[in-house]
Amino acid sequence: MSPGIRAARGGDARAAHGSPAVAPAGHAERTGAERAHHRIFIAVALAPVLREAIALIQHRLAVAGADLRWIPPENLHLTLKFLGAVTTPRLARVTEAVHDAASRTRSFTITLGGLGAFPSARRPRVVWVGVTEGADRLSTLAGDLDIELGRRRFPREHRPFQSHLTIARVRSGGPPPDLSELLAGLHDLALGSQPVEAMFVMESMLHPSGAIYHPVEEAVLRGTG
């Protein structure tokens, strides 16, 4: 968790009553912190061995002629919920929701394999690796998380959760490439397995060179069911 987030959570900017008065020292700083927005999502981290395996697949596709915008290996993750802009006070509610969902969930194992594209391989926008085992447990975890966030007045998901790992996006401008033949040969590819033992609240920092992700909070899965 970044020092800035910790400091903002501790602020307590109370509204003045009656006639306007001179704001106490630090009031402007606290008000600014409360208005600050963080670009937030909740995810499962990817094991290093799977990052390496996916980097090899990305290279294989690039050599085969797939001109895509590749996700850097260090940014690969399994998104459970994307929230977007969240104020600092609301960020505390996000971490509460994540811990509550984690407290009822025990660790499990997932296996990654097979490549596909949304909305289709012929006209793709996103290229992904699938979850061949443990997808049901991942979906249940995402559903529990969505419920806990909904209780804290965050928007609920209206589409069913689809377990996948985004590895590339199609570059904007021009028609999308037809990847049907290229991906057909990788439909049954097996990449490996990893345990899912925690969820992470992540902040996405946008830079000219691309997004950089910072972990804000870790919630270890402690459930017994």
Positions marked catalytic: 77, 164
Give 100's Cβ-side CA count (13 Å radius). Answer: 16
Query: What residues form DSSP beta bridges with 38?
Result: 86
DSSP letter at 73 equals G
What sign does the CA torsion over 130, 135, 140, 145 have?
negative
Nearest to 219 by CA among 135, 61, 99: 99
With b for 16 or more beta-carbon neighbours within 10 A and e for fewer, the 51-60 pattern comes to bebbbebbee
Q: Report phi then psi at 161, rounded to 5.
A: -70, 135
User: How far, in whole angstroms, is CA 60 from its chain's centroid?
Assistant: 25
Q: What token pair was written down for 34?
A: 């409360």
**How far is it, in rounded angstroms, from Cα 179 to Cα 126?**
11
Rg, C-alpha atoms of the chain: 20
- The alpha-helical segments, DSSP class H, found in the chain are 3-9, 27-35, 48-63, 88-103, 135-151, 180-184
